[in-house]
Chains A and B, each alone.
Chain A
Amino acid sequence: EDQVTQSPEALRLQEGESSSLNCSYTVSGLRGLFWYRQDPGKGPEFLFTLYSAGEEKEKERLKATLTKKESFLHITAPKPEDSATYLCAVIPINSGYALNFGKGTSLLVTP
């Protein structure tokens, strides 16, 4: 069964304190792995797509990396506005294009 597990469930950082969020996945084959940001009461906002092990993508203070079993979302020198829930999702091969989401990591960055 395809599974996506995110850790930690919640993370509290001080402004400027870099850290990483983890997404472990188990799929028979990976079409793509996706990172989204979700603010309370809003829909997810697309951040990155990763397709193959070794791939990296960057956007401002965020960098996503991918291995054959997991993905990391590195947050460098976070700011309070980076506070949100970060969702990881996969699309397995041969399952259409529906996203299979993890439960997310709730990030709080304090000044």
Chain B
Amino acid sequence: GAVVSQHPSWVICKSGTSVKIECRSLDFQATTMFWYRQFPKQSLMLMATSNEGSKATYEQGVEKDKFLINHASLTLSTLTVTSAHPEDSSFYICSASGTSPDTQYFGPGTRLTVL
């Protein structure tokens, strides 16, 4: 149980384009979903927290107009990187928590490369 999927697993795009990443909880309802970013040899840094049907809460320094988060249902959250630039290249990982809110289950991550 507690499986989280992400799609796509990797994406390469040109600078200036937008990219959407999906995060799904497959066998439980995710009250809260989190989006993290991980640069090489670094740990995970929280970008934003989203609750189903509510606006996401962004961490300080994360541009909400650049990283659009939608949590439309209890099993799906999306992260859209708008007008991507090479510095946005990173490993994006989502997590989800259900009835036990302090335990997060992570997706496999999405490798974004912006050329």
Contact = CB atoms under 8 A, between A and B. Distances in A.
Q: Which secondary structure characterizes the binding site on chain B?
A: strand
How many interface residues does chain A have, given as a range? 20 to 34
Interface string A65-107: 0000000000000000000000100010000111111111000
B42 A32 contact: no
B107 A43 contact: yes
Contact of B93 (A32, A44, A98): A44
Interface stretch (B43-51, B64-72, B82-90): B43-51
Interface residues of B, number: 27
Contacts of A32: 102
Contacts of A103: 42-43
Nearest to B31: A97
Interface of B: 2, 4, 6, 32, 34, 42-46, 49, 57, 59, 91, 93, 95, 97, 101-109, 111
